[in-house]
């Protein structure tokens, strides 16, 4: 067996010499190493010692509840360490958590930093659970007993001599040549010890000391002095938790980057806050000087120590630069990482504020890096399926299928034949008539949409009492109303309904009105002063018709419906007594610009129904647009809930309108084409052939007269 290698310098200055008759077996050496490992582990607090201490000190009636708390600590340690590690690692982590929280009431900045340095990123809920369980256990003991538990192992093994502690050194064994350097570079000789336990103690104190002793104070370091002034002025109470070296390293890393002054100014403001404006100005003005001096100052002990600290911090996770390293990130990943950094800075500011107030707010560490990792993996999976060419990417976007969109034209455009360049033709069964004056093409009505397996009719008798009173006299809802029922009657989602004329959109509006009434139905009483419902009709005549319809339906519930237009003015008391207003876009635009009555009417509106939304493209479109924009702004500014329902007959760009109304296309967007008409509709196209304008008008009048006369004689409505 080869002798363990020792350096030549160690052999020169010690009594260690090579043994010629060394015949120890390999198993003996391994046995010694295992015993040394057991002794080293025994010096620290272990999970078995904690359990043994609790079993000895507590009564049998308390042991069962304490065991539950111990299980909670083990579960929290398992979540922090990870399920891949073994039982020994989990128990060691649990003992570390117990030792960290045994004298703490909550998870503070120091505890969070200690756990993060030991295990890396961790879920805050696990640390909170471990802290609470530890507090429940330690509440049964006094402070002296807990201190004795932590220091028990140190006292037990305090007299044992570790390997290397009693090793004697001698500098007189070999004579040094006069050309060689002195052992300690001419300085006063210091006592050198191989005591590993003392080394650990000194090292731990060096890195955990709250004061700034590791680096001497010098007046010729501009960056150090300015940072020290900033911390003394702003972080008096948090000085123990903040190291000047760390902040100097962060600032130097930012100043030495290739970013412009404007970009660097924004990042420095996010890091230092409003209190650091003066420091930011000085750093930007002396940026070049700081970087040059930092790199070239070899005699400055403070800068030298700061450089070493920067190298340690930046080198913890750095990889060896064997070649050019390239990191590829998608735009979504960049946004996620930027959001992660922004959340970390926000959490740091909250911790500072909580530390100044003397309280630790709950839920500070609510941003979980595991979620970011999941989002990144999902983004990478989606990126594999996205084609490179922009045209194909646009086609993939159009292939998104929404659950409640029944658009036969869009489905036809997704077929392979259309994408390959095939043209659309008229359907089968058309009739053509061609004469000298005109050409007539009759397109038969389309077949109705087959009923799906998930479609079930909604019967009125199955509704609650409010729904049965409002739909009294009806047996069940029609097909479109049954599809929309769940979203309209049981959710607060914004909705856009695009259905043919006569499909029953008014009853869909009634479903949303009943849902809002049910929201304010408590203990058999409708609290009428807590809500207002607004129905915006495009014309005054339609507003009067809707007022009569809703008044008749809502009369059993005691809901008052009034018309508010230019012809029908309401007093302040009438507005306060009214729960539903039917108005026009122009009138509601005026009302929302200025409050009506003592109470702002727009502030208590909970449901806004916009009929004929396709008028956005007409002359009155800007008025509707301003109403919607003002409502959405009110929702964002007051954080109140205002539901928006849009009703439209035919709307080709329904996705754009849904985005404008803040409608979730997977939940609140409903589009029904001509296949859902309650009465099938055929189409007839007449084309006049004459090229002369005057003759063309005469032929159009003649053809129109003949067509109307033919329909009237057949007994059809015109």
Instruction: Write down the pLDDT at residue 336.
Output: 76
619-674: pLDDT as tens digits = 889 999 999 999 999 888 888 889 999 999 878 899 999 999 999 999 999 999 88
Instruction: Write down the pLDDT at residue 610.
Output: 95
Instruction: Write down the pLDDT at residue 310.
Output: 52
Instruction: Write down the pLDDT at residue 545.
Output: 93
The 3-state secondary structure of 592-626 reads HHCCCCCCCHHHHEEEEEECCHHHHHCCCHHHHHH
CB 481, CB 489: distance < 8 Å: no
> What is the enclosing helix (H) or strand (E) of 688?
strand 683-688
Q: Is the pTM of this model over 0.75?
A: no
CB 381, CB 373: distance < 8 Å: no
The CA-atom distances, in angstroms, between 583 and each of 252, 597, 641 are: 63, 17, 21
Other CB atoms within 10 Å distance of the CB of residue 291: 15
Instruction: Write down the pLDDT at residue 676.
Output: 86
For residues 427 and 174, which has the higher predicted lDDT (pLDDT)?
Answer: 427
pLDDT, mean of residues 312-340:
60
343-378: pLDDT as tens digits = 888 888 877 776 655 544 444 445 567 777 888 888
User: Cα–Cα–Cα angle for 31, 36, 42, nearest 5°?
Assistant: 125
Q: Which residues pair with 687 in a beta bridge?
A: 439
Segments in 527-620 forming alpha helices (H): 540-554, 572-577, 585-593
The three-class DSSP label of residue 107 is coil
**Helix (H) and strand (E) counts for the chain?**
29, 13
Q: For residue 79, what are its two tokens? A: 């979540």
Torsion of CA 565, 571, 573, 577, to 10 degrees: -20
Of the candidates 109, 90, 101, the residue with the CA atom closest to the CA atom of residue 134: 101
> What is the enclosing helix (H) or strand (E) of 205?
helix 196-208
216-240: pLDDT as tens digits = 333 346 788 888 888 877 765 444 4
Q: 558 in the Ramachandran plot: left (φ > 0), alpha (ψ -120 to 50) or beta?
A: left
pLDDT, mean of residues 181-195:
49
Does the pLDDT of residue 606 top 50, yes or no?
Answer: yes
Q: Which runs of E-coded beta strand occur in 27-168? A: none
The three-class DSSP label of residue 568 is coil
For residues 594 and 51, which has the higher predicted lDDT (pLDDT)?
Answer: 51
Instruction: Write down the pLDDT at residue 544.
Output: 92
- Using CA of residue 704, residue 709, residue 710, residue 716, what is the dihedral sign? positive
pLDDT, mean of residues 445-459:
83
Q: Where do the domains of the chain lie?
A: 43-151, 221-296, 432-444+682-717, 460-676
The three-class DSSP label of residue 702 is helix
570-583: pLDDT as tens digits = 888 888 889 999 99
Structural Rg of the chain based on CA atoms: 40
DSSP per position, 501-550? TTS-HHHHHHHHHHHHHHHTEETTEE-GGG-EEEEE-SSHHHHHHHHHHH
Instruction: Write down the pLDDT at residue 82.
Output: 78
Per-residue DSSP letter, 647: E
Classify burial at 453, counting beta carbons within 10 Å of its beta carbon; exposed 0-12, middle 13-18, buried 19 or more: exposed
> What is the enclosing helix (H) or strand (E) of 131?
helix 124-138
> What is the enclosing helix (H) or strand (E) of 439?
strand 438-443
Does the pLDDT of residue 126 top 50, yes or no?
Answer: yes
- Using CA of residue 452, residue 456, residue 458, residue 464, what is the dihedral sign? negative
Burial 78-101 (b: 16+ CB within 10 A, else e): bbbbeeeeeeeebbbbbbbbbbbb
Classify burial at 46, counting beta carbons within 10 Å of its beta carbon; exposed 0-12, middle 13-18, buried 19 or more: middle
Of the candidates 207, 245, 254, the residue with the CA atom closest to the CA atom of residue 224: 245
Backbone angles phi, psi at 476, to 5 degrees: -160, 165
Q: For residue 119, what are its two tokens? A: 């295990």
Q: How far apart are CA 393 and CA 556, in angstroms?
A: 54
Mean pLDDT for the chain overall? 76
Q: How far apart are CA 544 and CA 258, in angstroms?
A: 68
The CA-atom distances, in angstroms, between 315 and each of 1, 309, 310, 319 are: 37, 10, 8, 8
38-81: pLDDT as tens digits = 666 555 678 888 888 888 777 777 887 888 888 888 888 888 88
CB 580, CB 533: distance < 8 Å: yes
CATH topology of domain 460-676: Rossmann fold (3.40.50)
88 contact partners, CB below 8 Å, separation of at least 6: none
Instruction: Write down the pLDDT at residue 648.
Output: 92
Q: Which residues pair with 439 in a beta bridge?
A: 434, 687
Q: For residue 165, what are its two tokens? A: 């502690």
CB 442, CB 682: distance < 8 Å: yes
The three-class DSSP label of residue 600 is coil
Please provide the size of the chain in residues: 718
Instruction: Write down the pLDDT at residue 19.
Output: 54
Report the relative pairing of strands 580-583 and 561-564 from DSSP bridges. parallel
Other CB atoms within 10 Å distance of the CB of residue 481: 25
Q: How far apart are CA 483 and CA 477, in angstroms?
A: 9
Instruction: Write down the pLDDT at residue 475.
Output: 93
Burial 362-372 (b: 16+ CB within 10 A, else e): eebbebeeeeb
- The share of the chain scoring above pLDDT 70, in percent, equals 71
Confidence of residue 318 (pLDDT cuts 50, 70, 90): very low
The three-class DSSP label of residue 405 is strand
217 contact partners, CB below 8 Å, separation of at least 6: 224, 302
Does the pLDDT of residue 209 top 70, yes or no?
Answer: no
The CA-atom distances, in angstroms, between 579 and each of 10, 532, 538 are: 94, 5, 20
Does the pLDDT of residue 522 top 50, yes or no?
Answer: yes
pLDDT, mean of residues 462-467:
92
Instruction: Write down the pLDDT at residue 195.
Output: 55
Instruction: Write down the pLDDT at residue 691.
Output: 84
484-500: pLDDT as tens digits = 999 999 999 999 999 99
Of the candidates 178, 183, 234, 240, the residue with the CA atom closest to the CA atom of residue 212: 240
Look-up of token digits 């000087």: 289
For residues 415 and 181, which has the higher predicted lDDT (pLDDT)?
Answer: 415
Confidence of residue 465 (pLDDT cuts 50, 70, 90): very high
Q: For residue 542, what are its two tokens? A: 């339609």
Q: How far apart are CA 514 and CA 489, in angstroms?
A: 7
């Amino acid at each position: 067996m080869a002798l363990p290698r020792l350096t030549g310098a160690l052999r020169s200055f010690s009594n260690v010499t090579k043994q010629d008759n060394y015949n120890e077996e390999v198993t003996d050496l391994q046995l010694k190493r295992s015993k040394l490992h057991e002794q080293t582990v025994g010096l620290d607090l272990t999970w078995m010692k904690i359990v043994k201490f609790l079993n000895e000190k507590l009564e049998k009636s308390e042991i069962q509840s304490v065991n539950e708390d111990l299980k909670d600590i083990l579960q929290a340690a398992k979540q922090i360490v990870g399920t891949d590690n073994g039982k020994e690692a989990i128990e060691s982590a649990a003992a570390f958590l117990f030792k960290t929280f045994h004298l703490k009431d909550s998870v503070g900045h120091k505890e969070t930093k200690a756990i993060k340095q030991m295990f890396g990123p961790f879920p805050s809920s696990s640390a909170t659970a471990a802290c609470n369980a530890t507090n429940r256990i330690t509440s049964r003991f006094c402070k002296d007993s807990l201190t004795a538990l932590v220091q028990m192992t140190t006292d037990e093994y305090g007299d044992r001599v570790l390997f290397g502690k009693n090793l004697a050194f001698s500098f007189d064994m070999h004579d040094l040549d006069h050309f060689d350097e002195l052992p300690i570079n001419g300085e006063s000789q210091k006592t050198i010890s191989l005591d590993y336990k003392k080394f650990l103690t000194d090292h731990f104190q060096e890195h955990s000391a709250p004061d700034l002793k590791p680096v001497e104070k010098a007046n010729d370091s501009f960056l150090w002095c300015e940072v020290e002034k900033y911390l003394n002025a702003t972080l008096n109470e948090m000085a123990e938790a903040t190291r000047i070296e760390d902040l100097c390293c962060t600032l130097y890393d930012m100043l030495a980057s290739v970013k412009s002054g404007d970009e660097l100014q924004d990042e420095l403001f996010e890091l230092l806050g409003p209190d650091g404006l003066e420091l930011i100005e000085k750093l930007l003005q002396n940026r070049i000087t700081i970087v040059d001096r930092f790199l070239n100052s070899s005699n400055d002990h403070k800068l030298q120590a700061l450089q070493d600290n920067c190298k340690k911090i930046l080198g913890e996770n750095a990889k060896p630069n064997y070649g050019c390293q390239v990191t590829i990130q998608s735009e979504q990943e960049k946004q996620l990482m930027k959001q992660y950094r922004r959340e970390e800075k926000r959490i740091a500011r909250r911790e500072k504020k909580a530390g100044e107030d003397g309280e630790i707010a709950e839920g500070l560490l609510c941003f979980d890096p595991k979620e970011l990792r999941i989002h990144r993996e999902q983004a990478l999976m989606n990126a594999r399926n996205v084609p490179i060419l922009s045209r194909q990417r646009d086609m993939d976007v159009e292939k998104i299928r929404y659950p409640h969109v029944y658009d036969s034209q869009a489905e036809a455009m997704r077929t392979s034949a259309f994408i390959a360049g095939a043209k659309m033709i008229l359907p089968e069964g058309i009739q053509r008539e061609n004469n000298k004056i005109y050409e007539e093409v009759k397109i038969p009505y389309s077949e109705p949409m087959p009923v799906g397996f998930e479609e079930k009719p909604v019967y009125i008798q199955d509704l609650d009492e409010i729904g049965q009173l409002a739909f009294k006299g009806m047996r069940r809802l029609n097909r479109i109303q049954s599809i929309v029922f769940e979203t309209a009657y049981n959710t607060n989602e914004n909705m856009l309904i695009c259905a043919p004329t006569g499909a029953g959109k008014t009853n869909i509006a009634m479903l949303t009105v009943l849902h809002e009434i049910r929201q304010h139905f408590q203990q058999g009483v409708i609290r009428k002063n807590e809500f207002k419902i607004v129905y915006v009709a495009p014309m005054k005549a339609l507003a009067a018709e809707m007022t009569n319809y809703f008044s008749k339906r809502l009369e059993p519930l005691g809901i008052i419906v009034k018309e508010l237009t230019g012809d029908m003015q309401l007093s302040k008391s009438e507005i306060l007594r009214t729960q539903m207003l039917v108005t026009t876009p122009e009138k509601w635009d005026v009302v929302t610009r200025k409050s009506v009555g003592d109470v702002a009417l727009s502030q208590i509106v909970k449901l806004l129904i916009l009929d004929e939304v396709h008028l956005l493209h007409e002359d009155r479109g800007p008025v509707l647009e301003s109403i919607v924009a003002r409502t959405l702004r009110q929702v964002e500014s007051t954080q109140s809930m205002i539901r928006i329902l849009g009703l439209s007959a035919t709307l080709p760009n329904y996705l754009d309108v849904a985005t404008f109304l803040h409608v979730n296309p997977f939940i609140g967007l409903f589009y029904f084409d001509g296949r859902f008409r309650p009465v099938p509709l055929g189409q007839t196209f007449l084309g006049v052939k004459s090229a002369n304008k005057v003759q063309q008008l005469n032929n159009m009048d003649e053809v129109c007269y003949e067509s109307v006369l033919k329909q009237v004689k057949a007994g059809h409505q015109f």
